[in-house]
Amino acid sequence: MNNAGFSFNSGEHLSALLYGGVVRFVESTPYLHTFKTGPLAGQTKERFIKKKIETTLPRLVEPLPKTELKKLGYWSTDASVLSRLKAKGTARRVVELIKRRNELERLVSTYYHGIPKTIEEKDWEPGWLHGQFNQVTVVTGRTSSSSPNLQNMASEVDELIKTRF
């Protein structure tokens, strides 16, 4: 299968990969087209032929009961389902890789893209975070943090953030 069309962001593609099924995508193949008539006659331009591809994948793991989606033949691939799957061998490795990819995707969107976006939106000086510390919002009287929450940063990004105190 040409992996250029497979999308790990597609629940349908992940479902087909894990539980077996059909993966559909469009493949674009470039070719050179030479104009025969008109103002561009004799000129060559790159164009694309689009071809619909369908690939049937074998089942790696048995789907969990009551996780079937509304679309017939597809099952859930969310984090709670992935953590409960009973996979062995290669299937287990595939499930672990999907889970790790999801974690990395969350880190990238939350911290590596999210924090710079917050800095830009709030018009802060580049390279500075100004989190809010709130005392009255927590029933116990402890402080909490928001915009962004500096108390619950992932350990993977600790080395990127230094305090000036």
Q: What is the DSSP string of 24-58?
A: EEEEEEEEEEE--SSTTTT-EEEEEEEEEEEEEE-
For residue 92, pLDDT beyond 80: yes
Q: 2: pLDDT confidence band, cut at 50, 70 and 90?
A: very low
19 touches 32 (CB < 8 A): no
Mean pLDDT along residues 106-118? 88
Lowest mean pLDDT among 18-27, 73-82, 145-154: 145-154
Task: Give the DSSP H or E segment for 96.
Answer: helix 90-107
Q: 116: pLDDT confidence band, cut at 50, 70 and 90?
A: confident
Write down the pTM of the prediction.
0.71
Task: Please list, residue by residue across 45-66, b when 16 or more beta carbons sit within 10 angstroms of its beta carbon and e when fewer do.
Answer: eeeeeeeeeeeebeebbebbee
Q: Which one-letter DSSP state was computed for residue 62?
A: P
56 touches 65 (CB < 8 A): no
For residue 155, pLDDT beyond 90: no
- Measured distance CA(63)–CA(147) in Å, rounded: 39
The residue written with tokens 């940063």 in the block is 153
